[in-house]
Amino acid sequence: MIELYTYWRSSAAYRVRIGLAIKQLDYISIPTHLLDKGGEHLTPQYAEINPQQLLPTLAVEANYKLTQSVAILEYLEEVYPEYPLLPKNPIERAQARAVAHAIAMEIHPLNNLRVLKYLQKQLNVTEQQRNNWYEHWVSVGFEAIEHQLSRQEHCSQYCFGAAPSLADVCLVPQVYNALRFTINISQYPNISRIYDNCMALDAFAIAAPNAQLDAGI
């Protein structure tokens, strides 16, 4: 049985939950609180599971532990090819990966919880300055992605074609976070449309933060 160490508001864990739901894979959710008691992910016990002390971690095949959300999604794509996360066309596959990487490797690292906490606790920025930092890097990233999507011949319901791909799986959690920080995403019409279309699907609704057992805890 697959086990997922997750937290309801972790956008990286959210990506993997979406991927698992799209592929209709059963798994055991192991909530790992990012704030309670200083963060359960920072305990020595969790460090044995994931030395980076980040979420998510996916336990598979005789308790192998997989880390890094995009790497986990690529693993799921290779092992469970049904309900693919990547388009068939090689160019579109590369483009879908590029959008996913732009989010997971460019936007998210600048705005994840440990960076925001460092800004406030070690650099003594105000809450407003922290929020300005967050909005700036989301805006820079979304503007580029919006432009990229506007140039895609097959961008309509989803980022690439008639089914969600790795790009959508990464985009939706980042939009969720942007909305939490009251960023106006209507200025990005392609992103807004794709987000709404994805959230109308069962797989995305099942994986959504508020649908998790630890939601609000």
What are the backbone dihedrals phi and psi of residue 159, each rounded to the nearest 5 degrees, phi first?
A: -60, -40
Choosing from 47, 64, 83, the residue where a domain stops is 83
Residue 217 lies in a domain: no
| Claim to verify: residue 103 and residue 155 sit in the same structural domain | yes
Q: What pLDDT score was predicted for residue 156?
A: 80
User: Among candidates 158, 169, 177, which has minimal Cα distance to 85?
Assistant: 169
Task: Provide the 10 A C-beta neighbour count for residue 157.
Answer: 18
Alpha helix ranges (H) inside the chain: 11-22, 44-49, 69-79, 90-101, 108-111, 113-121, 127-150, 166-180, 189-199, 202-207
Q: Which pLDDT does position 67 carry in this prediction?
A: 97
Residues 112, 66 within the same domain: no
Given this model, what pLDDT does residue 62 score? Answer: 76
Which residues, listed in sequence order, are joined to residue 28 by a DSSP beta bridge?
A: 3
User: In the β-sheet with 27-31, what is the strand arrangement from edge to edge?
Assistant: 27-31, 2-6, 57-60, 64-67
**Of the candidates 36, 58, 83, which is a domain's last residue?**
83
pLDDT of residue 1: 86
**Is 35 inside a domain boundary?**
yes
CATH number at residue 37: 3.40.30.10
- Considering the domain architecture, whether residues 56 and 94 belong to the same structural domain is answered as no
End-of-domain residue from the set 83, 106, 139: 83
Residues in the chain: 217
Contact 81, 60 (CB under 8 A): no
pLDDT of residue 87: 92
* Contact status, residue 165 vs residue 85, Cβ threshold 8 Å: yes
Residues 165 and 186 in one domain: yes
Is the domain of 137 the same as that of 187? yes
Is residue 174 a part of any domain in this protein?
A: yes
- Number of independent structural domains in the chain: 2
Question: Is residue 78 located within the same domain as residue 144?
Answer: no
Q: Are 69 and 173 in a shared domain?
A: no
Q: Residue 151: give its domain's CATH number.
A: 1.20.1050.10
Residue 204: predicted pLDDT = 98
Low-confidence ranges of the chain (pLDDT < 50): none
**Structural domain span for residue 105:** 90-203
Q: What is the reported pLDDT for 14?
A: 98
